[in-house]
Structure 1
Amino acid sequence: MTYRLTQFAHGGGCACKIPPGELEDVVRGLTGTAPAGTAHELLVGLDDGDDAAVVRLDGDRALIATTDFFTPVVDDAYDWGRIAAANALSDVYAMGGRPVVALNLLAWPRETLPFELAAETLRGGLEVCAKAGCHLAGGHSVDDPEPKYGLAVTGLAHPGRLLRNDSGRAGMPLSLTKPLGLGVLNARHKATGERFEQAVEVMTTLNEAAAEAALAAGITCATDVTGFGLLGHLHKLARASGVTAVLDSDAVPFVDGAREAFRDGFVPGGSRRNLDWVRPHADLSAVGEETALLLADAQTSGGLLLAGEIPGAPVIGELVPRRDDRTIVVR
């Protein structure tokens, strides 16, 4: 029997995230103060919604902790495992670190899906972790009506060489290391069963090389582009850095077939929610609704958004002195 994993979930991949505005309401006020007796300094916490938590261990080492998991974004269990693992590891790369050890997070509807598919999902995750040089050791599983998979990842970085979303400065160019459009292609895949190898290739590509290139170039400001879309993550970066972002929509790359999928009506609900959230914080007067939605498209295992330039990554805009709380989209 053939199982289409995407049919067992209400949403797919990072498009099933809680909308950014609602999430910010939930965590607002939870930063608090350091616990009594804390031996190590928290360098990155909840304040700016960065990609992972970072704690200084000593002068040369900082520990990075993150977790990410989601419902199936593709029907193939092995590919889903690879995509989910690459996506979880990305949060470590987005902070300028290297992943050291990860734990599986698996939710499985044991009465409706065979465990052979769960094993294939875990095999995909193991393969990607091995490629990243990251140990994958154990984890946790629960019986759940919807399948979900991801990783809890611990990494290391130098505390003085972190990539953060609050260190952007006016005059810095903006670069993007992967094309957009994964959300609309995944929505088409879920609806029709069509397989898009180009999307799978993008989602399973590690952000390791991009992070290494960013550090080598002296870049200090970055985030990865996932469930909140390019516009959402760019807004958070500019807000945290106290600057305004100017985005050149014509310079943004898209995966082959993404615009066609959009025009055929395959738009994830998460992408529409992203645009609803970011619209009050963006000047979109220069572009139409199609472009605006694609710029807000919910990505799964997307690329790094860098305040700086690296080889092979197109420059898609710049940071300028703060004007107001709006990202300016031009073309």
Structure 2
Amino acid sequence: MTAATMRLTQYAHGGGCACKIPPGELEEMVAGLTGPATDDLLVGVGDDAAVVRIEGGRAVIATADFFTPVVDDAYTFGRIAATNALSDVYAMGGTPLVAVNLLGWPRGVLPPELAREVLRGGADAAREAGCHLGGGHSIDDPEPKYGMAVTGLGDPDRLLRGDAAVAGLPLTLTKPLGLGVLNNRHKATGEVFEEAIAVMTTLNRDASVAALAAGARCATDVTGFGLLGHLHEVARASGVTAVVDASAVPYVDGARRSLADGFVPGGSRRNLDWVRPFLDAGAADEDELVLLADAQTSGGLLVAGEVPGYPVVGELVPRRGETTLVVR
């Protein structure tokens, strides 16, 4: 087998953000593991990135993100993973400044030219974002993994936070869902979904700028915990209930068909199991809920507020007891 015919997704047990540790397990794992509280640490555990106030009326935004291959093409995998890592800075309302690579590579299994292609894809994503890229760290790993640690800058008084949702605001989603089921199908069959690749390699830069311009103060990016999982985190932290209009949620072409054919990441079902105790599903069937909980890779922003040019998919209302999520 040559490097050109190797399918990267076959060398990992899962793919993309669907490989995240399930949210319930993760919460137990990190419970109580917070650093010393200071006035300058504006955002710590529980949001998309850490934010620290520095001199000059600015804030440093720091994050790291990496995962196993979500597509077979090495260059495209690198672009997707880097775009996803950069997204955490955009989700906080910041601008990426500098990134370093994080690479795990099975040296005796996959040739170095494929690793080079992964890194080239990441470099091109960073270049598109106007973000400096300086080296990084690599290890010999049984499975291929790639991502970035990214540092950005923002305005401490104009952050997009995950705990700042207010009842009465609409919910806006800036990318379609369904990436998890399509990536699962790609891993199983080798079929390539160009729209899914285009979505995953689109920076959230424009959406972040538009959200800030519209006066938004609350957002998160929709990745491994799915729309319902990330929205549950926002609603819980903000003391509100989120109502999702299932008929208004956009999907990548082929997602529903792939779900019907049985291509569902295990992470998507775990996401749904996690939020189900806090969910009023109304008349939504199980397939609809699985799609709403589908584990996304390099998904869009979910914004509390209306953002011109992007669809409104629900609204925020006063908290209804223990219910953080309503699907109608």
Do the two structures share a fold, i.e. TM-score over 0.5?
yes
Partner Cα separation in structure 2 for residue 326 and residue 268 of structure 1:
26
165, 168, 183: which one pairs with 1:171? 168
Deviating more after overlay: 15-24 vs 279-288: 279-288
AA paired with 1:20?
P
- Which residue does the alignment assign to 2:43? 44
Partner Cα separation in structure 1 for residue 111 and residue 131 of structure 2:
28
201, 204, 210: which one pairs with 1:204? 201
- Which residue does the alignment assign to 1:15? 18
Deviating more after overlay: 277-286 vs 155-164: 277-286
- Which residue does the alignment assign to 2:154? 157
Q: What secondary structure does 1:272 align onto?
A: helix
- Which residue does the alignment assign to 1:123? 120
- Which residue does the alignment assign to 1:305? 302
Partner Cα separation in structure 2 for residue 328 and residue 70 of structure 1:
28
Q: What secondary structure does 1:206 align onto?
A: coil
- Which residue does the alignment assign to 1:290? 287
- Contact 2:236/2:324 (<8 A) preserved: no
1:188 aligns with 2:185: yes
Percent identity, please: 74
Partner Cα separation in structure 2 for residue 124 and residue 229 of structure 1:
25
- Which residue does the alignment assign to 1:4? 7
Partner Cα separation in structure 2 for residue 252 and residue 181 of structure 1:
10
- Contact 1:59/1:159 (<8 A) preserved: no
Q: What secondary structure does 1:24 align onto?
A: helix
- C-alpha distance after superposition, 1:124-162 (max 9, x if no partner): 000010000000100000000000000000000010010
The Cα shift of 1:33 comes to 2.5
1:241 aligns with 2:238: yes
Q: How does 1:105-120 map to 2 (within 5 A)?
A: 105-120=102-117
- Contact 2:228/2:325 (<8 A) preserved: no
TM-score normalised by structure 2 residue count: 0.98
- Contact 2:12/2:68 (<8 A) preserved: yes
The Cα shift of 1:325 comes to 2.6
- C-alpha distance after superposition, 1:96-149 (max 9, x if no partner): 000000000000000000000000000000001000000010000000000000
- Which residue does the alignment assign to 1:139? 136
Q: What secondary structure does 1:66 align onto?
A: strand
Partner Cα separation in structure 1 for residue 326 and residue 307 of structure 2:
22
TM-score normalised by structure 1 residue count: 0.97
Partner Cα separation in structure 2 for residue 302 and residue 263 of structure 1:
22
The Cα shift of 1:32 comes to 4.4
Compared with structure 1, are the counterparts of its residues 192 and 222 closer, same or farther at alpha carbon in structure 2 (3 Å cutoff)?
Answer: same
What is the aligned residue count? Answer: 325
Partner Cα separation in structure 1 for residue 229 and residue 70 of structure 2:
20
Which ranges of structure 1 fall in alignment gaps of 5 or more residues?
A: none
Partner Cα separation in structure 2 for residue 325 and residue 211 of structure 1:
30
Q: What secondary structure does 1:266 align onto?
A: coil
AA paired with 2:17?
C
Partner Cα separation in structure 2 for residue 147 and residue 178 of structure 1:
27
AA paired with 2:162?
N
- C-alpha distance after superposition, 1:17-65 (max 9, x if no partner): 000000000111112433xxx7x7100001xx11000000035200000
